[in-house]
Amino acid sequence: MICAGIDAGSRAIKVVLLDSESGGLSAYGVIDQGVEQDALAGRLFDRLLAEEALERGAVGRVVATGYGRDFVPFADTAITEITCHACGVRHVAPDVRTIIEVGGQDSKLIRLDPSGAVRDFAMNDRCAAGTGRFLEVVASRLEVGLDTLGAMAARSGSPAAISSTCVVFAETEIVGLLARGVPGEDIVAGVQQAIARRVTAMAGPSVDEPILLTGGVALVPGMADAMATALGRPVRVVEHPQMTGALGAAILAARQRVDPQAPGAILGQ
C-alpha cells in the first residue's frame, strides 16, 4: 500500500510516495510554491502517481505538513513540521541526535532523545537572516543564480564580515561591500557564515552529535561546512535534504493507516 506525505513549505511543495510495506520511496518530487497551493500540490501529487501508474484510490493515507499544511484539501490529516522532519531524518539517519533544518523563510534546531523522540526544539520564523531568504537576497544583489552560490563561496580567499542580524540591514551592508570592491565570492562566503552563526545560536551551550543538516539550504555547497565551523562540531547533510519533511509525513501516514489513533509522534524505528 502506498502512503503519501505533502510538505507545503513557504518556497516549495514537496511530495513523497512511500511503500508502506517495504518502507522505501516509490517516488518523490518538488515544485515551486505559489498562490494556488492546493492546485499545485494536487498536480504534483497526480504527476507522481501517474509516473507510478497509480490512481488516487491506491493511496492509503495522506499526511500534510509545513507552512501550508492546513491548505492541502486531499490530505487526511496535518502534522507539524517539527515532528515530520524529525521522523524523516531519523528514517535515513537512525543515529541522529540534532537536526538543523533551514528552509526558505524559517530555520529550526531539533534535539532528539536516544529513542528518537523530539526532546526540544528552537525555531527562527521571524528573521530572514538565518534562512534561505538571505541567500536569495545576496544572489539578487550579485545578479547570479542561487545554484552558483556554493561554487562562488568555495573560491573565497577572505570571507567578508557580515555583522547585521537583519536581512534588510545586511543588504545595505552588502551594497557597501560591493562599493568598496569586495569580491562577490567573499560576500557569498560571508553570508553563508552569517546564516550559520544565526542558526547555530539556537543551539545554546551544547549540542549532541551526530548533527544532520536538512532543508533546501542544505543543497547549497558549503553550508554544512559553515554550520560545522559555527558549532565547532561535524555536520553532515542528510540524504535528499529537501524531502525529509514530506518523507516523515509519509511515514507517519503509514503508521496512522495501521493504527488510526496513532499520534504524530516519533516511535522507535
Question: What would the pLDDT profile of 122-174 be if each residue is shown by its tens digit?
Answer: 988 666 667 888 898 899 999 999 889 999 999 999 999 987 667 777 888 89
Which 3 state secondary structure label does DSSP give 63? strand
Distances (CA, A) of 63 to 28, 168, 245, 267: 14, 36, 11, 17
Q: In what order do the strands lie in the sheet with 118-124?
A: 118-124, 107-112, 98-102, 211-214, 236-237
Q: What is the pTM of this model?
A: 0.90
According to CATH, where is 3.30.420.40 located in the chain?
2-87+242-258, 95-238
Maximum distance among all Cα pairs of the chain, rounded to whole angstroms = 62
Q: So what's the pLDDT on residue 126?
A: 64
Question: Phi, psi (5° rounding) for residue 215?
Answer: 95, 165
State how far the Cα of 204 lies from the Cα of 9, in Å rounded to an integer.
26
CATH fold group of domain 2-87+242-258: Nucleotidyltransferase; domain 5 (3.30.420)
Q: pLDDT for 33-66, tens place per residue?
A: 988 899 999 999 999 999 999 999 999 999 999 9
CA 161 to chain centre: 26
Helix 132-142 / helix 167-179 crossing angle, nearest 10 deg: 30
Q: pLDDT for 233-256, tens place per residue?
A: 999 999 999 999 999 999 999 998
What is the residue-averaged pLDDT of the chain? 90
Kind plus residue range of the DSSP H or E element containing 25? strand 25-32
Residue 190 has pLDDT above 50, yes or no: yes
State how far the Cα of 18 lies from the Cα of 1, in Å rounded to an integer.
8
In this structure, are residues 103 and 136 in contact, taking their beta carbons and an 8 Å threshold? no
Percent of the chain with pLDDT over 70: 94
Architecture of domain 95-238: 2-Layer Sandwich (3.30)
Q: pLDDT for 65-114, tens place per residue?
A: 998 999 999 999 999 999 999 999 999 999 999 999 998 888 999 999 99
Percent of the chain with pLDDT over 90: 68
Place of cell 509545513: 66
